[in-house]
Amino acid sequence: MFGLTHHNDDDGKLPIFVHSLQSAEAFELAQKVWQVNGAIQRIDPANNKEFERFRFSNPACIVWLQRDRGRSDTFELILIWDKEEVGITEVYTVSAVSGTKMGDDARARELLERMLTAPATVPVNQTEEQ
């Protein structure tokens, strides 16, 4: 039903964690990552998103930082961890604070800070598909 298939390796755990944040600190870090890596920004015409794509080598992870074209108040941070090592996906929507801060931003800030400082983070080859 709905095109879903059953997998025998199902361990009963949810493989995706989704977080929605309103945090000035996390948003500022996302903007820094966006600006520092401006040379690798691409546009996906299918969904009208601007994005930057990276690969972490240790631990293995593919990362997308993206936003809607023409919109500068929200970023989406998507991390797909290697199934052999972690096997989960983390999704964060990071918005500028409009009113009260919402959500625990500690993990998102940690990930974004690592993207700014970790030498193991490199842009994914633009011709590689994932």
Which has the closest alpha carbon to 35: 50, 14, 49, 46?
50
118 SS3 class? coil
Predicted pLDDT of residue 129: 46
Q: What is the pLDDT of residues 15-49, one digit of tens each?
A: 899 999 999 999 999 999 999 988 889 999 999 99
Tokens of 44: 């996906």
Question: Of residues 82 and 41, which shows the higher confidence score?
Answer: 41
Predicted pLDDT of residue 9: 58
Predicted confidence band at 105 (pLDDT cuts at 50, 70, 90)?
very high
Burial of 127 (0-12, 13-18, 19+ CB in 10 A): exposed
Which has the closest alpha carbon to 29: 122, 113, 120?
113
**Burial readout 68-97 (b: 16 or more C-beta within 10 A, e: otherwise):** eeeeeebbbbbbbbeeeeeeebbebbbbbe
Tokens of 122: 């490199």
pTM of the model: 0.80
List CB contacts of 98: < 8 A, sequence separation 6 or more. 22
For residue 51, pLDDT over 80 is answered with: yes
For residue 126, pLDDT over 50 is answered with: no
How is residue 125 annotated by DSSP?
A: P
Q: Which of 29-33, 76-80, 96-100, 111-115 has the lowest mean pLDDT?
A: 96-100
Predicted confidence band at 119 (pLDDT cuts at 50, 70, 90)?
low
H-assigned helices in 1-130: 24-36, 106-117
Predicted confidence band at 127 (pLDDT cuts at 50, 70, 90)?
very low
